[in-house]
Structures are given as structure tokens and as C-alpha cells.
Amino acid sequence: MTDLVRMEHIEKYFGRVQALNDVSFNVKEREIVGLLGDNGAGKSTLIKILSGALTATSGDIYIKDQKADIRNTGDAIRYGIETIYQDSALVPQLSIARNLFMGREPVKGRFGQLDQAHMNEVASNLLKQVGISKPIPPTTPISALSGGERQAVAIARAMYFESDLIILDEPTNNLGVEETQGVLRFVRNARDSGHSCIFIAHNIYHVFQVVDRIVVLRRGKKVADDIDPKKTTIEAVEHIITGMVEA
């Protein structure tokens, strides 16, 4: 498998505080990478650099072996990197279909009319594809959906717009057991249809259930890169995160 995204020798300073110290990180095609680390380990900083919310002090990013220049979130989206934050980037008052196509609305005719029939049809199919079990009309406002369903819509949007890499930042926070299983299923479905994912979660159990590989950061440094969740235990990974054991 080739690298989809490669971050090399990333350093990030906030004033004199070093948040990332020579971190190199890669995601292969069709791979779900779990990014773990305690609070302040640098997970969010690393992800924000990749998604354009922050810029690195030094270091390079390569996407499909081409050097990438990501200065803002718009750049990242153009490079095929979609970030789904907690309480994901949806407009609660608008319908599922309108959220899916936000910023890239299909229009027809001379007066900029939205092609709502097309939007609704695509939305219905996507919701099925992402794995939402109960039928939800695409005209339902986001505010009427549960937390897990909202994650599903955000993931569906990333899949539809051919995002190569979907970054999920704490997608299972505040979700119930069943909802969490749903989100994990959406993530697997996304990988199976050809997308790569970075999965960040405090809950190691959730990470273990879904990822292909685990990367651990501690105090701004990468301390483990190639942990196979099938060949290790949660306790062992916990010890690496807290620094009790060096990887």
C-alpha cells in the first residue's frame, strides 16, 4: 500500500512552547489510523496542521507523493482532506440534503435554482450507503437527528465529495453504546469504499475496534508508530500513552 498522506519532520511552536517535536506521520490508502495520546500530547495540533486550521513552524506535507501547501481549511478540502469535529460542521437548521451540498450546491436553469430533486436523491442513497439503518427523509433538519446520525451525515458528505482522507476528531464522544457502534460501522464502510481515516478518540476501546494501525504521541513526540491492534493489548498501549513503557 502506498502513502496517501505523509507529514515529515513537523515542528510546531506556540510562542516558546514546543507542541510538536520532529513528528513524522503517514496514512496509507484504505487505512484507518488511530491517533492516541494523553491530553496535551499534540494530537489536535498535528491534525489541525493537516486540516489547515494551523500551520506548522517547519516540516513538510506530501499528498500522494506531491508536496502540498495547506494554508487554510479550504486548501485541505481541495486536497481531499475532510475533518469531522465533534458537533460536526453541520448547520442544524438546514436539511440533511442542504447540508450535504453546502458550498457545492448543484444548480439548474438560468436563475441559480437549486436542483433539490437531485440533492434529495443523492442524500437518500448516501445515508443508506453510510449505513444508517432506519429510513430518514433527506429533508429532515439536522437539529432533529441524534449525535450519531449527525456524524453519519458528516461522514457521508466526506465520502460523496471524494475526500481521500477523513479525519474524525473524537467522533464517539457523548454517544451511547448503540450510536457508537453505528459510527464505528460508518468508518469501516468509508474505508471499504476506498477512503482513508484518521481516528482520534480518548476511548481506547473504540479505537481498538476499528483501526488498522495505532500511532501514539506523548508530549509532542511520536513514541509509537506501528502498533497493530490485533497483536497487542489495550493495557500495553495505555502504558505507552502514559509513558510507563517505551515502545
Residues lying near another protein in the complex (CB under 8 A) = 73-74, 77, 88-94, 98, 101-105, 107, 111-114, 116, 136-137, 140, 143-144
Nearer to another protein, 120 or 207 (CB): 120
Least distance (Å) between residue 174 CB and another protein: 14
Nearer to another protein, 74 or 243 (CB): 74
Least distance (Å) between residue 115 CB and another protein: 10
Nearer to another protein, 139 or 181 (CB): 139
User: What are the Cα distances from residue 208, in Å, to 151, 178, 235?
Assistant: 19, 17, 11
Say whether 155 sits in a helix, a strand or coil. Answer: helix
The total of other beta-carbon atoms located within 10 Å of residue 24's CB is 13
Least distance (Å) between residue 114 CB and another protein: 6
Give, to the nearest 10 degrees, the angle between helix 116-130 and helix 147-160: 110
Nearer to another protein, 136 or 247 (CB): 136
Pairing of strands 221-227, 165-169: unpaired
Least distance (Å) between residue 72 CB and another protein: 9
The total of other beta-carbon atoms located within 10 Å of residue 11's CB is 15
Least distance (Å) between residue 113 CB and another protein: 5
Phi-psi region of 32 (alpha: psi -120 to 50; beta: other; left: phi over 0): beta
Nearer to another protein, 92 or 243 (CB): 92
